[in-house]
Amino acid sequence: MLTTCDGKTPAAGGSAYLGAIATALPPLCADQGLAAELIRRHFGERLTPRSLGLIRATFDHPSIKKRHFAIDDPSRIMAETPDQRIQRFTEKSIELSAQAAGLALARAGVGAHQVTGVVVNTCTGYICPGISTYLLERLGLSRSARLYDLVGSGCGGAIPNLQLAESLVQSRGGIVLSISVEICSSVFQMDNDLSLILSNALFADGAAAAVLWDRPGGFELVASAGRYVPEQREEIRFVHKGGELHNQLSTKLPGLVKKAAAEVVSDVLAAQGLSPLDVKHWALHTGGEKIVNAVRDEVGIPEERLRATRRVLEQYGNMSSPTTWFVLDELMEAGIAPGEWCLMLAYGAGLSAHAFLLRKC
């Protein structure tokens, strides 16, 4: 008889499991000093002394040391046309997604022809048909696979993606790919705007993929929750100016995010009779040091359980939606014992917060 990780018979609808994950990064890696110098060189004449001071302070902050960008020459980012940006987004999002998905399938020991569903989320570019159709072609997936492309969830998008992928496994069985990819550099903008200065010191490019199935092993997907605060959408969102996306971030975000994050953590843990201290492994989205600190204090997460989050922030910055997968990958490298709890927690545009509780099999 099929049982869950704790030996119980699965509930109606069946349990879904996380069989493997993988991440992908573009080869270009730039330290914060180089990134700041490029901005000063290209925009110095139009930036105010205040903006130049903010660039110095934000790019010198020790919480981030380097980031990866999906472009051959970083100086090209400064002069791309809108058409060149969407072309680069298209090429690089497909390339990185395919790398992550291929590696995840190899780690799970399954072939691309066995995949029955794909869910892809992104917020840094829009193409039609979506990324999923290109992956079908690139990876050699079945033409009858169910394909879904999600947009609009921002940095928190990996978890709604995972919720949909879980539902596909529970309703249809089979093997489902959950893929998050962002080319944040394709929405680069610069001006005397604190939101843009902060964004340019924080965001980076990357992709992650997870293999889901109904075979016990890996991680059991136990419970999830989401919390939306639409009256605060102006505090964190993309806005269109001159036909291009500009990131809009409020300095109030740490206080707003910590409340939504604490509520969604309470929702998902209370349903299982757990407290934050029962969760040994935390995969927090790296929204920036102030947000990580605020969420830590509001939720009650011991600092020593945030080593993986801190390391991903330091080495890769904020890659938007794939980032929480990078943190989970870091946690897995360090070791998670059978039966231990892990909680993925992400937050982003909307304002929204999402949590997914996993248990190691």
Q: What is the residue extent of each domain of the chain?
A: 17-213, 219-360
Q: Which long-range contacts (CB under 8 A, 24 or more apart) does 254-259 make?
A: 254/290, 254/291, 254/293, 254/294, 255/294, 256/229, 256/232, 256/351, 257/287, 257/291, 257/294, 257/295, 257/347, 257/351, 257/353, 258/291, 258/294, 258/295, 258/297, 258/298, 258/299, 259/298
Whether the per-residue pLDDT at 205 is higher than 90: the answer is yes
Domain 219-360 matching CATH 3.40.47.10: the answer reads yes
Q: Which of 264, 279, 254, 296 is nearest to 331 (CA)?
A: 279
Q: How many CB atoms lie within 10 A of CB 334?
A: 10
In the prediction, which pLDDT does 25 show?
98
Mean of the per-residue pLDDT values of the chain? 93
Retrieve residue 282's tokens: 């935390």
Reported as a single tens digit per residue, the pLDDT across 48-92 is 999 999 999 999 999 999 999 999 988 888 889 999 999 999 999
List, in sequence order, every residue forming a beta bridge with 352; answer none if it has no partner: 228, 348
In the prediction, which pLDDT does 4 show?
57
Q: CA-to-CA distance for 67 and 69, rounded, in angstroms?
A: 7
Whether the per-residue pLDDT at 169 is higher than 90: the answer is yes
CATH topology agreement for domains 17-213 and 219-360:
yes
Report residue 51: phi and psi, to 5°. Answer: -65, -40
Reported as a single tens digit per residue, the pLDDT across 235-248 is 788 888 888 888 87
Write the secondary structure of 126-184 as one string of H (helix), E (strand) and C (coil). Answer: CCCCCHHHHHHHHHCCCCCCEEEEECCCHHHCHHHHHHHHHHHHHHHCCEEEEEEEEEH
Q: β-pairing, 205-213 with 146-150?
A: unpaired
Cis peptide before 25 (omega within 30 of 0): no
Instruction: Please name the residue that has the structure tokens 């590696």.
Output: 103
SS3 292: helix
SS3 273: coil
Q: β-pairing, 244-249 with 17-24?
A: unpaired
Architecture in CATH for domain 17-213: 3-Layer(aba) Sandwich (3.40)
In the prediction, which pLDDT does 11 show?
44
Q: β-pairing, 244-249 with 236-241?
A: antiparallel
Report CA-CA distances (Å) from 8 to 1, 4, 197.
10, 5, 51
Verdict on whether the full-model pTM lies above 0.85: yes
In the prediction, which pLDDT does 5 show?
66
Instruction: Please name the residue that has the structure tokens 């080869």.
Output: 27
Amino acid at 250: S
Proportion of the chain above pLDDT 90, given as a percent: 83
In the prediction, which pLDDT does 251 show?
86
In the prediction, which pLDDT does 7 show?
55
Q: β-pairing, 341-348 with 281-284?
A: parallel
In the prediction, which pLDDT does 238 show?
84
SS3 361: coil
DSSP result, 189-204: --SS-HHHHHHHHHB-
Reported as a single tens digit per residue, the pLDDT across 270-281 is 999 999 999 999
Q: CA-to-CA distance for 68 and 320, rounded, in angstroms?
A: 12
Residues 332 and 21: beta-carbon distance below 8 Å: yes
Instruction: Please name the residue that has the structure tokens 């914060």.
Output: 32
In the prediction, which pLDDT does 125 show?
94
| Residue 319 CB-half CA count within 13 A | 34
Reported as a single tens digit per residue, the pLDDT across 86-136 is 999 999 999 999 999 999 999 999 999 999 999 999 999 999 999 999 999
SS3 86: helix
In the prediction, which pLDDT does 13 show?
55
Reported as a single tens digit per residue, the pLDDT across 316-361 is 999 999 999 999 999 999 999 999 999 999 998 989 999 999 999 9
